[in-house]
Every structure is written in structure tokens, then in C-alpha cells.
Amino acid sequence: MPVLLYNQINPGTLQHLLERYGMVVKGVAANNPIPGSFWQPPEAGLVGNILFVRNDTPVHSALHEACHYICMDQHRRNKLDTDAGGDYEEENGVCYLQILLSDHIPEMGRQRMFSDMDKWGYSFRLGSSQAWFELDAEDAVAWLRRYRLIDDDNRPAWRLRQ
């Protein structure tokens, strides 16, 4: 099964989810370049608080880039254009949070996110995103809690890193 694409979900669901973080989702016409796309189209792009997607953008890419915005500090957020940057710990936090947020998109959910992340080529020591999430992500959880991005029950706290 191919990865889930933006045109296969209700776009209002993604917009509503990301509005909670002060983000805006903007569509890009088919075959046009995606502003702020670090990996190049069809991967999602970030410029400031705007997440750019096309119909062929993978949902996992949209959530990953959105989670970079959520997980970066305000200084980086203020000058964000294409390259979200961040260190190893932040990248792990981003991956963990995108899995949590996938549960808020009915067409996606956690199991589909695990599958799509593995298909795209995310690499984890235990060989799969699910094994990492369930057995090896203590550092990501600690990082997200440190910045109060998830609560003590590992649910999104609906706030940006300060």
C-alpha cells in the first residue's frame, strides 16, 4: 500500500489540528514547486508558520514538518524558511510527536503512520518506527516532556516549545 497522501484526507482536519499550534496549511497547485520544501516536492514545505502541501504530499511529511515547527524554539521559528534544523534529540521528539498527532487524523492513525514512516525510510535502531516508538523512545519522551510538548500521559499538550 502506498503512503497516505494529502488528497486522501479531509484537508480541514489537518488545518484544524495545526491551528491549535498557530499554523496555517496552504495548498499548492499540482506540479508547482512547494515553497519551503527541504526534501523537494512532493514533500511538505515550511516558511514561518505556514505549512505548504500539494495533493501528492505524504501526510507523514506534512506532520513531520509541522512537528519541527512545534518543537523548535521561538528564535528559530522567527526565521524559519525551508530548513527546520535542530539536533538529534529534537529530531527524535519530532518523530515521536508526529506519531501522536497522527491519531488525530482519522484516515491516518498510528499504525498507518508507522507503516508510512518505514516506507519513506525513517531509520531507527530497532529496525522500525513502531519498535522504536514502543521500546526505545524514552529519550524522545523525556525531551518532549522537558519542553512541555506532551503531558505525563504522553498526549499532545497543544503548545509550542518556548
User: Residue 95 contacts by C-beta under 8 Å, 6 or more apart in sequence?
Assistant: 64, 67, 117, 122, 129, 132, 140
Q: Helices (H), strands (E): how many in the chain?
A: 7, 3
User: Residue 71 contacts by C-beta under 8 Å, 6 or more apart in sequence?
Assistant: 86, 90, 93, 94, 97, 144, 147, 149, 161
pLDDT at 1: 81
Q: Which helix (H) or strand (E) holds 53?
A: strand 50-53
Q: How confident is the model at residue 45 (pLDDT cuts 50, 70, 90)?
A: very high
Task: List the beta bridge partners of residue 108.
Answer: none
Cα Rg, the chain, nearest whole Å: 14
- Report the C-alpha gap between 43 and 69 in whole angstroms: 15
Model pLDDT for residues 55-104, shown as the tens digit of each residue: 999 999 999 999 999 999 999 999 999 999 999 999 999 999 999 999 99
Q: What is the average pLDDT value for the chain, to the nearest integer? A: 95
Q: Are 4 and 108 in contact (CB under 8 A)?
A: yes
pLDDT at 57: 98
pLDDT at 125: 74
